């Protein structure tokens, strides 16, 4: 039977295939699965983990090329257009920096809380051994929250880079339209930020003693969110193939 693939669905997903309801309609997933069967290697995970790296590398290369092009063409005069571009460059650069800072903050937080969570784990193990009640629902919420945070930690930054790189490549007229790669990537980044904020909120609810430590993380995520919305005001209107397109669900 011919697979009913949704064109381009894999461009604006979160790459979390094991949780994806559209896996059977995704060409990338299906091809990776086939490759995995034949090559007997974990191609999917290999591909996904390198995808983020590739996106960052691609964005950097594009940026590099644009710098070179500008130099070659001798765009040294500061016209009004240059000025506008420079402003958006500056905004984009601070946004990229914030994405990178978030990666670092999360790593540091997990590192500094390693002992704390190991102690909690030990307590739970003791309770289980003594056949005392354990709130399994709470444990499930906490685990899912940690999974989400870790999954989107680098993903957010990668999507910020991609959305900004795309913006530079698109024609000025095109950026006014909703369906372009910049808006699509920005939308995926915004969704990942929302998921991350919700997950951090879960952690804060179960461990209120961590509230103060988490303030910087919350503030940073909200800033990134606001800046992305400012640069890409139409991002949320972007229709992701499959996920937002109702006709793909039939
Ligand atoms: S759309 Fe494809 S690549 Fe994306 S999460 Fe779903 S199965 Fe994975």
Would you say the pTM of this structure is higher than 0.85?
no
Cα separation, 208 vs 215, whole angstroms: 12
Q: Is 239 part of a structural domain of the chain?
A: yes
Q: Is 131 part of a structural domain of the chain?
A: yes
Q: Is 185 part of a structural domain of the chain?
A: yes
Distance 153 CA to ligand 1 centre (A): 18
> Residues of the chain with pLDDT > 70: what percent?
73
Which atom of ligand 1 is found nearest the CA of 20?
Answer: 6
Q: Is the pLDDT of residue 64 over 80?
A: no
* Residue-level pLDDT at 235: 96
Q: Is 50 part of a structural domain of the chain?
A: no
Neighbours of 152 (CB within 10 A): 25
Bigger pLDDT: 74 vs 171: 171
Question: pLDDT band at 21, cuts 50/70/90?
Answer: very high
Contact 214, 203 (CB under 8 A): yes
Long-range contacts of 15-21 (CB under 8 A, 24+ apart): 15/48, 15/51, 15/52, 15/155, 16/151, 17/44, 17/48
Sequence-distant (≥ 6) Cβ neighbours of residue 76 within 8 angstroms? none
* Residue-level pLDDT at 90: 73
Distance 10 CA to ligand 1 centre (A): 5
Q: Is the pLDDT of residue 81 over 50?
A: no
* Residue-level pLDDT at 77: 41
Pocket test for ligand 1, best of 14, 18, 24, 28 (most atoms within 8 A of CB): 28
Q: Is the pLDDT of residue 88 over 80?
A: no
Q: Is the pLDDT of residue 48 over 70?
A: no
Bigger pLDDT: 18 vs 88: 18
Contact 126, 83 (CB under 8 A): no
Q: Is 32 part of a structural domain of the chain?
A: no
Domain extent at residue 113: 94-249
Q: Is 114 part of a structural domain of the chain?
A: yes
16-30, 46-60, 153-167, 188-202: least confidently modelled range: 46-60
- The whole-chain average pLDDT of the chain stands at 82
Number of domains in the chain: 1
Question: pLDDT band at 129, cuts 50/70/90?
Answer: confident
Q: Is 149 part of a structural domain of the chain?
A: yes
* Residue-level pLDDT at 135: 83
* Residue-level pLDDT at 79: 44
pLDDT in tens, 171-187: 545 555 889 999 999 99
Q: Is 8 part of a structural domain of the chain?
A: no
- Single out the residue of 89, 43, 44, 81 nearest to residue 63, CA to CA: 89
Sequence-distant (≥ 6) Cβ neighbours of residue 7 within 8 angstroms? 241
Bigger pLDDT: 77 vs 218: 218
Sequence-distant (≥ 6) Cβ neighbours of residue 152 within 8 angstroms? 14, 192, 193, 195, 196
Distance 49 CA to ligand 1 centre (A): 13
* Residue-level pLDDT at 171: 55
DSSP string for 106-123: HHHHHHHTHHHHHHHHHH
């Amino acid at each position: 039977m011919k697979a009913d693939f949704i064109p381009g669905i894999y461009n604006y997903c979160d790459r979390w295939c094991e949780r994806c309801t559209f896996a059977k309609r995704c060409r990338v997933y299906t091809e990776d699965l086939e490759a995995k069967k034949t090559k007997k290697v974990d191609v999917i995970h290999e591909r996904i983990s390198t995808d983020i790296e590739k996106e960052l590398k691609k964005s950097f290369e594009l940026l590099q090329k644009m710098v070179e092009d500008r130099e070659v063409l001798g765009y040294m005069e500061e016209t009004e257009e240059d000025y506008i571009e420079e402003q958006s460059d500056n905004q984009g650069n601070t946004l990229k920096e914030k994405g990178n800072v978030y990666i670092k903050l999360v790593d540091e937080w997990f590192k500094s809380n390693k002992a704390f969570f190991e102690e909690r784990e030990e307590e739970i193990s003791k309770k289980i051994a003594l056949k005392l009640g354990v709130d399994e629902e709470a444990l499930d919420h906490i685990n899912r929250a940690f999974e989400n945070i870790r999954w989107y930690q680098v993903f957010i930054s990668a999507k910020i880079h991609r959305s900004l790189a795309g913006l530079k490549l698109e024609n000025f007229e095109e950026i006014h339209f909703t369906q372009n790669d910049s808006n699509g990537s920005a939308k995926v980044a915004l969704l990942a930020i929302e998921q991350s904020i919700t997950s951090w909120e879960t952690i804060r609810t179960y461990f209120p003693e961590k509230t103060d430590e988490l303030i910087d993380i919350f503030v940073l995520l909200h800033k990134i969110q606001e800046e992305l919305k400012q640069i890409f005001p139409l991002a949320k209107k972007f229709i992701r193939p499959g996920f937002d397109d109702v006709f793909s669900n039939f």
